[in-house]
């Protein structure tokens, strides 16, 4: 664990009209660690990652990435910086095989502008091997035939193949059984071991205590607590999620109830 943060949000705010989604949020993500982002529904987790991924523009504060202040206004800029998001729906095309999905939109071409299938297949195989994903029998089988855990592995491999430094995983285990969850959590750990920064969004505290190094709690768009996993308990985290102290009472500044805070 280094003190140098890969990604740092300083006082980031985001509002949609009068609704405050994020209020002066500070968030540090060191490289080589799994940082869990937790909070109840509507706490602002999704808004926060969308700001980092370039889908939303922030209204206040700054994002520092790799020591430099950055202004991410488009998903492509996030990709260029090495930030990849694996969304909950994975965005895989069922009718394409594993290789085709991993390279979708960024195909390798031969000199004659035709697809370089050999190069793509070899790279896909090596990437999966590098992540110790051994459950996928053939990289030429269609994604339709894969289990939930295998699909998640493909989506993660797709994200890390492009020299990414920061991988954001949105609820990666939400739809998985016990064994499949195990596979994916192991994969998350390996990403951090390889030196990547990992943000893990999850509702499942069991998963979080399994893999996370740091836990950051959002409540109603504000950060209310930060824990080191080794120094905290589930009770403490749950308490922070449901009743953490807010620096700013919702509805005080603007004419909105707490329900008005959106995710």
Partner 1 sequence: MSTATAPVPGGPAGADADAPGGMAGAVRDWWTNVRGGQLGSLPIIVGLVIIAIVFQTQNDRFLTAGNFVNLIVQSAAYTTIAMGIVFVLLLGEIDLSVGYVSGVAGVIAAVLLIPDGNELGTGVAIVLALGSGVAIGTLHGLIITKIGIPSFVVTLAGLIAWNGVVLLLIGSRGTVVLQDDLLIGLANDFLPEGVSWILMIAAAAIFAAIQLNEVRVRRKAGLEHDPFSVIGLKVGALALALAVVVYVANEDRGIPYLLLVVGFFLLFWGFVLRRTKFGRYVYAVGGNAEAARRAGINVDRIRIQVFAICSFMAAVGGLVLASRLRSVDTNSGGGEILLYSIAAAVIGGTSLFGGIGHIKSAILGALVIASIDNGLGLLGLGSGEKFLITGGVLLLAVTVDSLSRRRQTQTGRA
Query: Which spans of this chain sit near partner 1 (rule: CB under 8 A)?
Result: 75-76, 87, 89, 91-97, 100-101, 104-107, 109, 113-115, 118-119, 121-122, 125, 137-138, 140, 142, 144-145
Query: Which is nearer to partner 1, 28 or 50 (by Cβ)?
Result: 50
Q: Which residue pairs, CB below 8 angstroms and at least 24 apart, start in 116-125?
A: 123/161, 124/98, 124/99, 124/157, 124/161
- Residue 96 Cβ, how far from partner 1 at the closest point, in Å? 6
Query: Which is nearer to partner 1, 22 or 98 (by Cβ)?
Result: 98
- Residue 117 Cβ, how far from partner 1 at the closest point, in Å? 8
Contacts of residue 39, defined as CB under 8 A and 6 or more positions apart, other chains included, come to 45, 217, 218, 219, 241
Query: Which is nearer to partner 1, 138 or 194 (by Cβ)?
Result: 138
Q: Which DSSP category does 231 fall into? A: G
- Residue 72 Cβ, how far from partner 1 at the closest point, in Å? 16
* Three-class DSSP category at 122: helix
Q: Which DSSP category does 105 fall into? A: T
- Residue 109 Cβ, how far from partner 1 at the closest point, in Å? 7
The per-residue DSSP string of 189-237 comes to HHHHHTT-EEEEE-S-HHHHHHH-SEEEEEETTEEEEEEEGGG--HHHH
Distance (Å, rounded) from C-alpha 32 to C-alpha 3? Answer: 11
Q: Beta-carbon neighbour count of residue 46 at 10 Å? A: 22
Report yes or no: 167 and 159 within 8 Å, Cβ to Cβ. yes
Distance (Å, rounded) from C-alpha 251 to C-alpha 179? Answer: 44
Distance (Å, rounded) from C-alpha 198 to C-alpha 158? Answer: 15
- Residue 38 Cβ, how far from partner 1 at the closest point, in Å? 25
Contacts of residue 50, defined as CB under 8 A and 6 or more positions apart, other chains included, come to 56
Query: Which is nearer to partner 1, 123 or 239 (by Cβ)?
Result: 123
Query: Which is nearer to partner 1, 115 or 238 (by Cβ)?
Result: 115
Query: Which is nearer to partner 1, 101 or 152 (by Cβ)?
Result: 101
- Residue 73 Cβ, how far from partner 1 at the closest point, in Å? 15
- Residue 75 Cβ, how far from partner 1 at the closest point, in Å? 8
Q: Which DSSP category does 115 fall into? A: B
Q: Beta-carbon neighbour count of residue 44 at 10 Å? A: 25
Query: Which is nearer to partner 1, 17 or 111 (by Cβ)?
Result: 111
């Amino acid at each position: 664990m280094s003190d140098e943060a890969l990604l740092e949000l300083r006082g980031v705010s985001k509002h949609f009209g009068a609704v405050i989604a994020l209020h002066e949020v500070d968030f540090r993500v060191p490289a080589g660690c799994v940082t869990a982002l937790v909070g109840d529904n509507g706490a602002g987790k999704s808004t926060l990652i969308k700001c980092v991924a370039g889908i939303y523009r922030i209204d206040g504060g700054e994002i520092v990435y790799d020591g430099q202040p950055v202004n991410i206004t488009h998903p492509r800029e996030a990709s260029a910086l090495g930030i990849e998001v694996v969304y909950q729906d994975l965005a895989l095309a069922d009718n394409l095989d594993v290789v085709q999905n991993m390279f979708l939109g960024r195909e390798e071409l031969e000199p004659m502008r035709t697809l370089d299938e050999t190069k793509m297949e070899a790279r896909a195989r090596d990437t999966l091997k590098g992540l110790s994903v051994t459950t996928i029998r053939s990289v030429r089988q269609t994604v339709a035939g894969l289990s939930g855990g295998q699909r998640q592995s493909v989506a993660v491999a797709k994200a890390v193949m492009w020299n990414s430094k920061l991988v954001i995983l949105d609820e990666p285990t939400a739809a998985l059984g016990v064994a499949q969850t195990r596979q994916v959590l192991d994969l998350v750990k390996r990403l951090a071991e390889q030196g990547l920064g990992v943000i893990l969004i999850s509702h499942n505290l069991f998963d979080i205590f399994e893999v996370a190094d740091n836990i950051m709690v959002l409540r109603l768009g504000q950060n209310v607590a930060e824990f080191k996993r080794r120094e905290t308990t589930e009770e403490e985290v749950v308490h922070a999620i449901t009743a953490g102290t807010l620096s700013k009472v919702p509805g005080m500044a603007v004419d909105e109830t707490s329900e008005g805070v959106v995710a």
